[in-house]
Amino acid sequence: MTPNVLAGPGFFGGMFEVPCGYNKPVLVSSCDGVGTKLRIASAMGKHDTVGIDIVNHSVNDILTCGATPLFFLDYIAMGKLDPVLIAEVVKGLSTACQQVGCALIGGETAEMPGLYHGNDYDLAGFIVGIVEKDDILNGQSIKPGDAVLGLPSTGLHTNGYSLARRVLGETASAMIMRYPILTGSVGEALITPHRSYLADLKPVLTEIKGLAHITGGGFTDNIPRTLPPGTAVHITKGAWEVLPIFELIQELGNVADAEMYRVFNMGIGMVIVAEPAKVPSLLKSMPEAKVIGEVTADKGLGRVTID
């Protein structure tokens, strides 16, 4: 909790006092779910990281607008309430919220027999953040010649699991499989939590023109969401290290490059657009960042091209 929480879990509604110090405060919200990564969690019997996933995913989504998180609410539904499982999930939620300075203000736990069967459950989250109106990131100043940078992901994050499960399996025995390309088991690679980029980007937001969180839809669907009309982005393969788990999925599943970059983040969790003059200071502030492409004029070949 934070001092701004006036009523949290247990009451019928959460209350949060908007912080002072803003001239034109704008609230930014987002709602999402963990998706079929929950099948991996169930196969491994490990549920303390999926809460981290949904919080960090949500934080990154509103961060693309320049917003800092204020509070978070969760929704957990299952066929029969399992207090141990719920406690594990909430532990992850609480840990992630504390790490980003966000209040876990409430939520809902629903028992829904007949809709969920066995150990099936669903987890979703709702976040509200704040940004000064004059500091909103909307990408409108992006123009051809601007640089495109990327911050590395920790794995699949929370997207692409339907394809990953089809290729690698989703049983307990599939999760303990080991391949030479991986440093651990398949399950360990797949369950790795979604990374938050708040700590990396908050100090440099004033130097950035636009951000794209690489989630469902990969590069091809997410980068255009921050681009103004008439612009496109060219991505250079080999500018960063593609994580081994993606190489394994592509090889075993015989998945085409275009499909891989449409479904997965391929090792880049957040894309940053900035003017070239800002690149040296950004790389100094964020040593993990890589220059992965540039903004071009839209010539009708697709908003994102990857060579």
pLDDT at 11 over 80: no
d(CA 73, CA 225): 25
Q: How many CB atoms lie within 10 A of CB 32?
A: 18
Instruction: Grade residue 1 by pLDDT with cuts at 50, 70 and 90.
Output: low
d(CA 92, CA 187): 18
- Give backbone dihedrals phi and psi of 99, rounded to 5 degrees, phi first: -65, -30
Alpha-carbon 154 to chain mean position? 10
d(CA 280, CA 266): 24
End-to-end CA distance of the chain: 47
pLDDT of 3:
83
pLDDT in tens, 44-100: 999 999 999 999 999 999 999 999 999 999 999 999 999 999 999 999 999 999 999
d(CA 279, CA 207): 9
pLDDT at 160 over 70: yes
Instruction: Grade residue 9 by pLDDT with cuts at 50, 70 and 90.
Output: confident
What is the average pLDDT score of the chain?
Answer: 96
Top pLDDT among 1 and 38 is at 38
Query: What is the reported pTM?
Result: 0.95
Task: Tokens for 100, please give them.
Answer: 């980003």
Q: How many CB atoms lie within 10 A of CB 109?
A: 15
CATH code that applies to domain 5-134: 3.30.1330.10
- In DSSP terms, 294 is beta-bridged to 147, 234
The string of DSSP codes covering 75-141 is EEEESS--HHHHHHHHHHHHHHHHHHT-EEEEEEEEE-BTTB-TT-EEEEEEEEEEEEGGG----TT
Domain ranges of the chain: 5-134, 147-306
Taking alpha carbons only, the member of 262, 223, 268 closest to residue 243 is 268
Instruction: Grade residue 25 by pLDDT with cuts at 50, 70 and 90.
Output: very high
Instruction: Grade residue 8 by pLDDT with cuts at 50, 70 and 90.
Output: low
Q: Would you state the CATH architecture of domain 147-306?
A: Alpha-Beta Complex (3.90)
